[in-house]
Structure 1
């Protein structure tokens, strides 16, 4: 009897130790499938909004892959950094930021579209209705609120100023101020900045509130285009090709579902996803959703969506001619919609 008690006690200790080891090594055990590929993808989310991998999971398009949120999204450059260091498995960012990071030795590869601009969904730069700012030259000496430096907004602003004849010295006098996207409208209305970058749901909500007008839009400069992509590191893709394939196929299907499903049904699904999260996130802004903004079917990546920014960076003196090739930045091999 005594020996049995000792055996049971020993067994209990072993079980506790094994359980602790298991809980501390989730990515190496529970997240791996039979051939050792990752099955739990760690990522960043955006409060009150839904990204296409989240929509894909909710629609059942990711198979046995699970998403695990680790933090809230701040901006593309941070997403690139966290993906490169392995703190998250996939991220998304503006294509120009992806190019700059790749040129600095960060080997990430884009696999499917994340967001873009079309006639319904675009990045606009707005002022108060009674503002004196009407032209590019009126922005000299003024403050423009942007969500992050070195990304989509900064590229668009500089292009707008150059297209309208401002010199590089004059462009330097237009001050870009980082403000949280969720607060940009309020900061503009309070007079703390002279103009604000507004996009997506936040833009439509601000327009519904009235009293603001656009100075220019990114689609005025570049037409309709996919502006940013989801990406993994090249190492991750090499080690987890089946996982990446399932991810891309699922996200591509979710993009097409959102593109072809009646708007009211899409909004209802987005609200359902956000309502199921912990933390009582608001669904109020989701009613302003209008379109994916993604140019290519299934989020397939077109070379021109990178080449335009490579050319821009070369012209801006931030890249050398031939330093980065567009074909090295992305792959469509996993996307079933690529003809």
Structure 2
């Protein structure tokens, strides 16, 4: 998802820079805990408010951002379904873990993280794509203008900072290194560091890292500041593709099929509305949404919004949007070969939006 748009603060190497090994293991442990928690959840309020169907969906947002579900709600596309904001998430993996354990009713993350969750046998399903990469929305891997780093091989021994390890940006980095001919051992010598997006530009300029992954608002502002150049970017690497999905717990879907259909279809309509509506109109609506919810958020960065980047019409999920990252995780040794069946991870059955339909 988009990074939190706020003014960068000075990062501390000891407090904000962390290497990839521990967070990757931590996420796999969280995925296992989420699977256990969801599987053993009782019949209380944990998943969908008990055995009775619900019309209210609890969720986590992103500060300064209007996610597709919030846009759908504001447009009236969720009909009688209501959203209940419980706070902001810190990352996609944390968001879908919360959905698996029943702390929220839907969560979104990079599809590789969704595959990891499925490999841990968490009883959840991806129901709609909600963000992706296109010519308007992408992440770039930036270095200082005078940096000697000009190729994949130059990255060996260098520090690359991204918002979450084991997710979207690390997948892009691994894909780039592999395509440029680096061996697995060589690629492992590229140091991956977790760093909040609001700190990444400043860390690059101070020489604390050699490469910064910058996307959306933070990328555009950093480019405006000058003095940096892109080594490569997501869209250049793989073209347009849906990169992340909303997931819902199997138990919630079973108890609330109509609510789930209304929600997923409403999000699909909102994605198409955003795609077909003039950008200024979309941005103006987003600004009104953020101001109305009154959470002391800066609305100015929303002026940089260009696209949600979703490839499929109405956010419909294509199998290769998950299988690509299942293969990547197997290559890394994060999941065992054959651990997940792609057709079991996702469903388009709750999405009533069809090509040619009017989003309005």
State the TM-score bracket (shorter-chain normalisation): 0.7 to 0.9
Say whether 1:136 aligns with 2:171.
no
Deviates most, 302-311 or 50-59: 302-311
Alignment of 1:1-339 (within 5 A): 36-338=52-354
Q: Is the 8 A contact 2:61 2:85 kept in 1?
A: yes
Q: CA deviation at 1:32?
A: 7.1
Question: Matches of 1:284 and 1:132 in 2, distance apart?
Answer: 34
Q: Is the 8 A contact 1:300 1:338 kept in 2?
A: no
> What SS does the aligned partner of 1:130 have?
coil
What CA distance in whole angstroms lies between the structure 1 residues aligned with 2:353 and 2:223? 35
Question: 2:30 corresponds to which residue?
Answer: none
Verify the 8 A CA contact 1:225 1:305 in the aligned structure 2: yes
Does the 8 Å CA contact 1:32/1:39 hold for their aligned counterparts?
A: no
After TM superposition, the score normalised by the length of structure 2 is 0.82
CA distance in 1: counterparts of 2:340 and 2:349, whole angstroms: 20
**Partners of 1:32 and 1:236 in 2: how far apart?**
9
Identify the residue that residue 4 of structure 1 maps to in structure 2.
none
Unpaired runs of at least 5, structure 2: 1-43, 356-360
- Give CA deviations for 1:173-225 in whole Å, capped at 9, x if unaligned: 21111111122222222222111111122222222222211111122332210
Assess if the C-alpha contact under 8 Å between 1:32 and 1:40 holds in 2: no
1:15 — aligned with what?
A: none
Q: d(CA) in 1 for partners of 2:99 and 2:268?
A: 21
Q: Which runs of 5+ in 1 are unaligned?
A: 1-26
| Deviation of 1:83 (Å) | 1.0
Bigger drift between 322-331 and 45-54 goes to 322-331
270-279 or 113-122, which deviates more: 270-279
1:276 match: secondary structure: helix
CA–CA separation in structure 2 for the residues paired with 1:250 and 1:209: 38
- Count of residues in correspondence between the two structures: 310
Q: What is the CA–CA distance in structure 2 between the aligned matches of 1:45 and 1:182, rounded to whole Å?
A: 17
Q: Which moved more, 1:166-175 or 1:228-237?
A: 166-175
Distance 1:68 1:194 in 2: 41
TM-score by length of 1: 0.87
Question: Which residue is equivalent to 1:21?
Answer: none
Equivalent residue for 2:17? Answer: none
CA shift for structure 1 position 246? 0.7
Please give the alpha-carbon distance, in whole angstroms, between the structure 2 residues aligned to 1:207 and 1:290.
16
The answer to whether the 8 A contact 1:298-1:337 is kept is: yes
- What is the rounded CA distance, in whole Å, between the counterparts of 2:295 and 2:339 in structure 1? 45
CA–CA distance in 1 between the matches of 2:210 and 2:77? 44
Task: Give distance in 2, aligned partners of 1:293 and 1:247.
Answer: 20
